[in-house]
Structure 1
Amino acid sequence: MELQFYGATERVTGSCHVVRCAGKTILLDCGLIQGLAAEEALNREPFPFDPRDIDAVVLSHGHIDHSGRLPLLCRQGFSGPVFTQHATRDLALILLQDAARLEEYDVLRENRERRKRGEEPLEPLYTNEDVVEVINRMQTLPYDVRQEILPGIELRFQDAGHILGSAITELWLTENSETRKLVYSGDLGQYDSPVLNDPSSVSEADAVLVESTYGDRLHRERAETLREIGEIISSAARGGGNIIIPAFAIGRSQELLYLFGKYGDAWGLDEWQIYLDSPMAIEASRIYWDYPELYDSEARLMRDRLLEMPRPDNLHFTRRAEESKKINDIEQGAIIIAGSGMCNGGRILYHLKRHVERPESHVMITGYQAEGTLGRRLVEGNEAVEIHGRMYRVAAAVHTVGGLSAHGDQHDLLRWANGFDTRPAMYVVHGEDAPKRALAALLAESCGVRAEVPAPGEKVDLLVSRKG
């Protein structure tokens, strides 16, 4: 009975861990590696295991850094079920289809350059047909239901509060009459954030994998975050510019629409035109509205009263590329929400090309920016950035609104970890080096547990992992 760590050990993205029990092998997530070109090239490396040996996958949520290599896994021989929460299946379809489309586009562009150099062409990592294969393999479970998924292996999902359908995974593993409980946090949301419920508490475990994205820092208080957004909007209105918001299509875009609907009067949004310029975010918003049972009490009451989630009257959904291009003719008074959230592709790049050199415009960063991404360079205050092969001077005001993150901060992670009545061994993953080590030290101190930062490929014997 063992746990082996692979993805999201040396970096934040690419979550992937293996559990072996009673002759069966389970994969916890199978995510895409994102960031620098050299890191993304690792997605083409062989898996560190034979996909044909995997009996089942447990998917914590739909974000690409957790789900993005599932189609490749199937393409290379995996033929088992993928267990996930109901809403995650719906969101994974649009996320993975978008990833396949972008992959095919990037390979087409790369192959034009390779032909010029006389090099062999690349094949896409996967295609839409591979995505359909993955979705057809998904078996969904609601929260709070414990079910045997393989002989000797039982599974239960709890709400992680990160995005719609995100799950904390509880696994009961039995081998030779010995049972151990493994808990995988997936990605944990903030407490008291809008729309979704708080992360569920789990009281018992023998071993825990916990994420550490913000393991060494605190988010701004919610009230301060709301005040900051209001100030950005007021400043942009006075300066006569636009507000450009890179936003993840799943989670962040829906939260922004909710906040704009709720605080529109206070923020003077009637003077603006708001554009959700992302076909994927538009489709994801439809899925969000279809799952009111997963909202927190305030959002559920609002939806029941309005028959939909609150949204501004001056909100425009721009699905077609022609509509997106027309937005860039607007000189002022536009709030543009577009993907990708880390500015490493998608329509946001065209809006940044148009506005990043305009001192009257504002760029509002609302989520985590991985090392090597354009969003990270903007956050770090680079005076110039490269977009589509050309350098652009950064004259727009860049604001980092950390309080909107879908990831819990250090206090949130410690609060969740302190919910265990037992003293499980804790393994810190899904973070850059400094946050992982900072969180591990605090977990050992505040929870009185053995907390480790595992290396890629490291194995843990779950029968002896808990030493209390």
Structure 2
Amino acid sequence: MKLSFHGADRTVTGSCHLLEIQGRRILVDCGLFQGGRELREDNAEPFGFDPASIDFVLLTHAHLDHCGRLPLLVKRGFRGEIIATAATFELARLVMLDAAHLQEEEAGHRKHSTGGRSEELDGGPLYSMLEALDAIGRFGRAVEYDTAFELVRGIRVTFLDAGHILGSASVLIKAEENGHQRSILFSGDIGNSGRPLLRSPQLPAAAEIVVMESTYGNRCHRSFAASVDEFHEAVAATLMRRGNVLIPTFALERAQEILYFLRQGIEQNRLPPSLPVFLDSPMAISATEIFRRHPECYSETLARSFKAGQDPFLMNGLRVARETAESIAINRITAGAVIMAGSGMCTGGRIRHHLRHNLDREAASVVFVGFASAGTLARQIIDGAKQVRIFGETVPVRAHVHTINGFSAHADQRELIDWHDRIPGKQATFVVHGEASVMAELAPLLRVPRVEMPQPHQQFEL
């Protein structure tokens, strides 16, 4: 059995791990690198393996940093089967088509500014809308949680509920090799327990080898209740100052969760009943519709709401903006609105337009409710930049900035260690999907004979 690492190695994004067993080549995730220009350029580099040689892709969930290079994989020769949960397939379609659209749009602007060059490394799109559709055409079996299936003769796979986003999974692979049963568990992204929308992560299965994410491996989240209180207070204080509240929003999970808590704040009289809330993200709007179609993923709290005929994502003041003209019109509002727009790390999308119009207003607030990778615009603002560049302009940062990490959909250090401790029979753990300094803090706390922090494209014989 060979295991090699081709993304999210000593960095947070670009998850891509290759398992070779019984002559089969199985890829777990194939995500985009997100962050500064150097990371974006990594997306166009060779994968570190021949895409045409891959038999299967097992997709843990639909976040862009886990599925975003699948169209490029197909473009470069992959002709195998992509396998995931039904909810992940629906969301991944949305995410990849949106990514292709944005890349085509941005590449058009760059091509114009660079005299017509349009290659992957010169600012051209990694893949087109058509190539994203080609990847969707490789979608195969939609699997259920906790139900083992035969990938091929002698290799069995089980998807376990990871509790991270809708449809997210950890993946257990078991196979016979040289007369011995081998087992390897890929964590995917492990969810933060006790959230209102989804179930908590399922207990992990027994495995010899563990590949584990470490995004928040060096810190513990504050209590969820305290985070919700802080969120309601930040919104209310901004409204009192007659400013707008900007919430850079990840379209999958975070948008739905924020809608849920805005509605809760209104019901508890902590926020005005007629509060104007703009969901300015076509992808988040569609993701919310997909959310309603997958009760198999719901927490008991969410299931009770829907059973009682209450849509937890709706409120009187909610307005959705699918069209560009609707988004532009929002910028005429100078006070009293909550504006949710993608992307969560402010690397693209409509939030950048709203930031350009609101960052220099002292009455406004920017409320970050998720992780921001190094090099992103979100991280610059969080780290206290006095001014930032948006669309080639220098914009002063005068707005109040709130960072509420308790909303994270990732397990924190305590939960990661607990998840890892519960895996019987583990002999080695590979720590991935985290910044190098974070991995270095987490690794000594893992009780296992062998811990590795793989370098990009490093291969291990197991």
Q: TM-score, normalised by structure 2?
A: 0.96
Distance between the aligned counterparts of 2:430 and 2:396, measured in 1?
A: 42
SS at 2:267 equivalent: coil
SS at 2:19 equivalent: strand
Given the alignment of the two structures, is residue 360 of structure 1 paired with residue 363 of structure 2, yes or no? yes
Q: Which residue of 1 aligns with 2:196?
A: 194
Inter-CA distance 176–410: structure 2 relative to 1 (3 Å threshold): same
SS at 1:340 equivalent: coil
Q: Which residue of 2 aligns with 1:331?
A: 334
Deviation track 1:242-279 (CA, whole Å, cap 9, x = no partner) reads 10000101110011111222332332231420010001
Q: Which residue of 1 aligns with 2:217?
A: 215
Given the alignment of the two structures, is residue 129 of structure 1 paired with residue 124 of structure 2, yes or no? no
Task: After TM superposition, give the deviation of residue 151 of structure 1 in Å.
Answer: 2.9
Map 1:23-172 → 2, pairs under 5 A? 23-115=23-115, 123-138=124-139, 139-172=141-174
Q: Which runs of 4+ in 1 moved over 4 A?
A: 116-123
CA contact (8 A) 2:413 2:442 kept: yes
Distance between the aligned counterparts of 1:407 and 1:264, measured in 2?
A: 27
Inter-CA distance 148–117: structure 2 relative to 1 (3 Å threshold): closer
The one-letter amino acid of 1:213's match is: T
Distance between the aligned counterparts of 1:456 and 1:289, measured in 2?
A: 38
CA contact (8 A) 1:15 1:66 kept: yes
Task: After TM superposition, give the deviation of residue 63 of structure 1 in Å.
Answer: 0.6
Q: Which residue of 1 aligns with 2:261?
A: 259
Distance between the aligned counterparts of 1:70 and 1:247, measured in 2?
A: 23
CA contact (8 A) 1:243 1:364 kept: yes
Inter-CA distance 269–162: structure 2 relative to 1 (3 Å threshold): farther
SS at 1:115 equivalent: coil
Distance between the aligned counterparts of 1:116 and 1:25, measured in 2?
A: 39
Q: Which residue of 2 aligns with 1:14?
A: 14
Q: Which residue of 2 aligns with 1:402?
A: 405
Per mean C-alpha deviation after superposition, the further-off stretch among 334-343 and 134-143 is 134-143
Aligned residue-pair number? 459
Q: Which residue of 2 aligns with 1:302?
A: 305
CA contact (8 A) 1:289 1:309 kept: no
Mind listing any 5+ residue stretches in structure 1 that lack a counterpart? Answer: 463-468
Mind listing any 5+ residue stretches in structure 2 that lack a counterpart? Answer: none
SS at 1:7 equivalent: coil
Task: After TM superposition, give the deviation of residue 21 of structure 1 in Å.
Answer: 0.6
Task: After TM superposition, give the deviation of residue 460 of structure 1 in Å.
Answer: 2.3
Inter-CA distance 51–333: structure 2 relative to 1 (3 Å threshold): same
CA contact (8 A) 1:26 1:57 kept: yes
SS at 1:438 equivalent: helix
Q: 1:415 aligns with which of 408, 413, 418?
A: 418
Inter-CA distance 329–143: structure 2 relative to 1 (3 Å threshold): same
Q: 1:183 aligns with which of 177, 185, 205?
A: 185
Distance between the aligned counterparts of 2:333 and 2:98, measured in 1?
A: 27
CA contact (8 A) 1:21 1:152 kept: no
Deviation track 1:188-229 (CA, whole Å, cap 9, x = no partner) reads 110111200111111410000010001001111111101101
Q: Which residue of 2 aligns with 1:239?
A: 241
Inter-CA distance 262–3: structure 2 relative to 1 (3 Å threshold): same
Q: Which residue of 2 aligns with 1:466?
A: none
Task: After TM superposition, give the deviation of residue 177 of structure 1 in Å.
Answer: 2.1
Task: After TM superposition, give the deviation of residue 116 of structure 1 in Å.
Answer: 6.9
CA contact (8 A) 2:427 2:448 kept: no
SS at 1:306 equivalent: coil
The one-letter amino acid of 1:46's match is: P
| Percent of matched pairs sharing the same residue | 40
Task: After TM superposition, give the deviation of residue 11 of structure 1 in Å.
Answer: 1.0
CA RMSD of aligned residues (A): 1.6
Q: TM-score, normalised by structure 1?
A: 0.95
Q: Which residue of 2 aligns with 1:465?
A: none
Distance between the aligned counterparts of 1:46 and 1:455, measured in 2?
A: 16
CA contact (8 A) 2:33 2:42 kept: yes
Deviation track 1:104-134 (CA, whole Å, cap 9, x = no partner) reads 1121111112217999976421112222222
CA contact (8 A) 1:241 1:361 kept: yes
SS at 1:426 equivalent: strand
SS at 1:258 equivalent: helix
Map 1:310-389 → 2, pairs under 5 A? 310-389=313-392
Per mean C-alpha deviation after superposition, the further-off stretch among 307-316 and 211-220 is 307-316
CA contact (8 A) 2:218 2:442 kept: yes
